[in-house]
Chains A and B, each alone.
Chain A
Amino acid sequence: MSLTRRSLLAIAGAGALAACAPSTPAPPAVEDPLKDDGVKDFSFTAWSLNEASTKDALQSMVDRYAGGSGGKITTASYPYNDYLNQVLLQIRGGTLTGAMQVDVAWLATLAATGRLADLGSIAGKADYTEAALSIGKVQGKQYGIPWTSAGIGLIANKDLLSQAGVTNPPKTITEFESALRALKALGNGVVPWAAMTKVDQLKDFIAWMWAFGSPVVKDGRIVVGDDASVEALTWYKKLYDEKLIAPDVNRFDARALFAQGKVGFYEDAIGGRGAVVKAATDKSLGDKLMPVSRPMRSSGVKPVNLAWGHALVVLQGTGAAAASRFVTAVTGTAAYNSEWFAKTGLPPTTKSALDTAAVKNDAFTTAFTGAIGGFVAADPFWIYPKFAQIESALANGVQAALIGKASPKDALAEARTQMEALTA
């Protein structure tokens, strides 16, 4: 057989392509990933190790734990927005071990790697609330120990509402719309509701589909595009067209606008308070934040908000047992819980910590839990390893409707087609 220049090039090209394919060996079965291997050193990966509002508190907790345990904790951090991709790559490459902070939204994706240790055996070592434990589970297995848990819900500027004549928080969609119109009438550049309208945060729309009665996922099937979700999107677009919500807003924009006292409502997790207060011109803005129960289509219907939380997971491998002891200490012991709450404002997940005076006397936390945190449900797409792409498909559909590229019905139908393909 003769080799021509062309065939040599073809072989080289095929070789290059083959070299580019990532290797995904099946993870070996591990009998008891938390069996003590005698190793005291482990690594801890967390984005909170680098965020201004949390890094000093967390580093001090890590240092204190390391000092007490006699082991060395090697820390690493990646920016929140790149975190999942980075840790996935490292887990797939077999270079990441120890304990790791995760957003509960990522658990299914990370569990699909087969490298997370089942922490069911340590879940009983502290009195975690059932609700918190449930957000750390994937298909019944406790891969994550909850560290902080709440929801993403509406937060209002009490002062602006009062100026607009809105004396009671809206309970229904109709009341909510009236409040928005009253806020708009204030003029002076007030944005009645800094709702998410950029694709990166349009997952918030899931909670509004719930508010209109759509289950979003029913019996394992995505039902986006049903009558209730179309009604929700039609409503959202109406508010957009009437400029009751602003275009091109994501969470950071909403916080910045809210901090200027120009926003009536926006949606955020409990940890957003720190960012808003820090950026505020009005130093008393913190006292004007009012968590609001999500308005539903009909009064008397229990509100539902998207769950939000951080969990700690343990990766199989060297030092897993030591890492699991660290996870239990940080998430489940009174000293660490109270320190973390005092310095970051992030609520703990154990019953005893939630019952402490520090937590109960914090007005914002109590109000947030009462209006939002106590009424949460997990994002129905978290169970799918490709949840991020699924949410992107939904977000693109919602945005297509908002900017008039497609009708709400067509936009959601198209989104569902794409989402179903991603669940296959």
Chain B
Amino acid sequence: MTVITKRITIAVIGVFAFGPVYWLLVTALTPNEDVFRFPPRLWPSRVTWEHFANLADNPALARYLTNSVIVASLTAVLTVMVSAYTAYSFSKFRYRGRRSLMYLILASQMFPQALLLITLYLIFSASGLLNTYLALILSFTTFTLPLCVWMLKGFFDTVPDELLEAAKVDGAGQLSAIHRILLPVSLPGLIATGLFAFIRGWNDFIFALTLAGPEKQTLPPGLVNTYLGEFQAAWPDLMAASLVVSLPVVIGFVILQRYLVAGLVSGAVKG
């Protein structure tokens, strides 16, 4: 591949990756009356900050943001905890039904989520968990676990068994070997898994809308409920709000992205 071809490829991928973000920014800076102007402009003829200023009028956004951070973070923590032990079992032990269980876990990904929504709603309703953080955390964890288990299993496969055996020879028990040897050397994989779960919890719309109730509503349904309706489509305000509330997460990802890449690549080497 020549240098020019590489650059063109990177440019095309860049447009796909950053084009929507750029458009989001441009829309947030465009006055209401120019948003739907045709032909569209790559940069507004007049930049306005009014849509960002409008955010101050909506204290509910801070609540949505807090709810999102709580739900996505706890989903990530729970997912990493459960998937780490499950993946350890699949990776380091050989027992009857192991392979079937692995595929059964993966098969759960094949159910349409809308179908599971009804089931989960009824279960949470019957158990009194509706409109709680726990309902969201449990349902998001349900969806992230299969892929995370497989991701971590691939990662644990790359950790030599000899390392764990050496720890056991030195007197470490099963849990000690996991906690003091396996998990520390698998940190990039754990962070990658956690980030994946976090993104799932952060982005979800329909489960958060259905299970969370008004007080525990997260950002995606909260923003839609605030800016889109029967007679309103406040796209610039929605874009401005999306930009602002995404910033903390983007910064977090920039800091952790080297773990994400390392984790995903390491797990992909041997699976």
The interface of chain A, by Cβ under 8 A from chain B, is 5, 9, 12-13, 16, 19-20, 22-23, 47, 50-53, 75-82, 86, 89, 93-95, 103, 189, 252-253, 255-257, 259-260, 262, 271-272, 274-275, 278-281
Contact = CB atoms under 8 A, between A and B. Distances in A.
A275 B232 contact: yes
Contact of A5 (B100, B125, B221, B224): B100
A260 B221 contact: no
A51 B214 contact: no
A260 B228 CA distance: 20
A271 B232 CA distance: 10
A16 B232 CA distance: 41
A339 B72 CA distance: 42
Given A9-B104, A275-B231, A22 B122 contact: yes
Contacts of A262: 38
Given A53-B232, A95-B125, A279-B36, 18 more contacts: A16-B111, A47-B229, A51-B231, A51-B232, A76-B213, A78-B221, A79-B228, A82-B206, A82-B209, A89-B117, A103-B230, A189-B38, A260-B36, A260-B38, A271-B231, A274-B231, A278-B32, A279-B33
B66 interface: no
Given A20-B115, A77-B214, A79-B221, A9 B229 contact: no
A256 B232 CA distance: 11
6 tightest A-B CB contacts, nearest first: A256-B36, A51-B229, A281-B33, A80-B230, A252-B233, A93-B125
Contacts of A95: 125, 130
Contacts of A274: 231
A86 B104 contact: no
A308 to B, nearest CB: 10
Nearest to B54: A52
A160 to B, nearest CB: 16
Contacts of A257: 36, 38
Contact of B225 (A5, A23, A50): A50
Interface centre among B34, B36, B118, B213 (most CB of A within 10 A): B36
B35 interface: yes
24 contacts: A13-B107, A16-B111, A20-B119, A22-B118, A47-B229, A47-B230, A52-B232, A53-B232, A76-B214, A77-B225, A79-B209, A79-B225, A79-B229, A80-B229, A81-B228, A82-B206, A82-B224, A86-B210, A89-B121, A93-B121, A255-B233, A256-B36, A260-B37, A280-B33
A20 B209 contact: no
B105 to A, nearest CB: 11
| Chain B interface category by residue count | 35 or more
B234 interface: yes
B66 to A, nearest CB: 18
Contact of B230 (A89, A271, A278, A281): A271
Interface centre among A89, A272, A274 (most CB of B within 10 A): A89
Given A79-B221, A79-B224, A253-B36, A22 B119 contact: yes
Contact of A94 (B125, B210, B234): B125
A272 B116 CA distance: 36
A89 B104 CA distance: 29
Contacts of A81: 228
Contact of A78 (B32, B116, B125, B209): B209
A291 to B, nearest CB: 16
A94 B121 CA distance: 11
A76 B210 CA distance: 12
A211 B213 CA distance: 44
Nearest to A279: B32
A274 B35 CA distance: 17
A274 B97 CA distance: 63
A324 B197 CA distance: 45
B186 interface: no
Interface in B218-271: 221, 224-226, 228-234
A9 B231 contact: no
A5 B97 contact: yes
Interface centre among A13, A82, A86 (most CB of B within 10 A): A82
Nearest to B223: A79
Interface centre among B32, B38, B122, B226 (most CB of A within 10 A): B122
A272 to B, nearest CB: 6
A70 B38 CA distance: 53
Contacts of B130: 95
B226 A260 contact: no
A423 to B, nearest CB: 23
A16 B231 CA distance: 41
Nearest to A77: B225
A47 B100 CA distance: 47
A5 B32 CA distance: 62
Contacts of B38: 189, 257, 260, 262
Contact of A20 (B35, B104, B111): B111
Nearest to A283: B33
Nearest to B234: A52
Interface centre among A22, A103, A256 (most CB of B within 10 A): A256
A255 B33 CA distance: 11
Contacts of A5: 97, 100
A16 B116 CA distance: 10
A53 B231 contact: yes
B33 A89 contact: no
Nearest to A310: B230
Contact of A256 (B35, B111, B226): B35
Contacts of B115: 20
A79 B118 CA distance: 19
A20 B115 CA distance: 7
A279 to B, nearest CB: 5
Interface in B17-62: 32-38
Contacts of B231: 51, 53, 271-272, 274-275
A54 B109 CA distance: 41
Contacts of B209: 78-79, 82, 86
Contacts of B214: 75-77
